[in-house]
Amino acid sequence: MNQTTVERKVKSVGIGLHTGEPIEITIEPLESDQGIVFYRKDKQTTIEAKPQNVVNTQMATVIGKGDAVISTIEHLLSAIYAYGIDNVYITIDGPEVPVMDGSAISFCMMLDEAGIRMLPKSKKILMIKESVEVKEGEKFVRLSPSKNFTNYDFVISFDHPVIGTQCYNFQFSKKAYLREIAKARTFGFLRDVQYLRSKNLALGGSLDNAVVLDDYKILNSEGLRYKDEFVRHKILDAMGDLSLLGMPFLGSYKAFAGSHKLNHLLTKELLKDKSRYEIKYFEEIQEFSFAKAYS
């Protein structure tokens, strides 16, 4: 199984969740071993999607270099990871990836339009060799070795009548991602909107690109896409955050009330000690469930 990129250049425009401004995004091919590379067109700055380039995780995962930042990269990266794309060049003409409908499905549609091209070099796979955990009070995220293909097990708990405690166990495949995860939207609380907007954040947030809740109910007239859409979106986010490892991983991810911050700290903690993981080429491990998962 070889590395991949997109077949052709594709372009779209959407609203920035925090700026509220239209942002153009272009996705185009890259050759083997280049990884996921962002280009902030208005700043003429290239930023690689790597843990060391993460500069903020408060409201989203943000990468940066100098005075150039690109925010809210996790939904796009989640889709790229689910499609098994190893190398791609992404041009943005503003400070954040457009939010689209608050899920990853618009990016999946862009990737379907772009197509996938096989590259000459073999796909790299990061194998988790020992468990790594990051905690913050009761919250935790953990990566563990697994003999099976990548699994995500997430639990959230909110003191809200619509959300409460939700659990979801997701056995990864591209088809399952499109069916179970890709359409799950980001969510937020009406009581937080005024505060965020006073900080010049969430200026583009609306019922068109997020599930919004007051103290008792969902405000979106169409309701939820899944009864447990909230926890499914957290898995979508986690996949995007962990894609910053630079390659698909073979292991198990488990979280209780995980966040962008904890996911970022987890990638740093894992990569800090080479005894915790091993990087192999696909043919070295003969893990054919990878090929099946991405079909």
Is the Cβ–Cβ distance between 76 and 90 less than 8 Å?
yes
Residue 27 exposed, middle or buried by CB count within 10 Å (0-12, 13-18, 19+): buried
CA distance 117 to 16: 29
CA 267 to chain centre: 13
Which of 18, 233, 260, 264 is flagged as catalytic? Answer: 260
Q: ∠ CA 150-102-176 to the nearest 5 degrees?
A: 30
The yes-or-no answer on residue 260 being catalytic is: yes
β-pair partners for 278: 127
Sort residue 216 into left (φ over 0), alpha (ψ -120 to 50) or beta.
alpha
| Active-site amino acid positions | 260
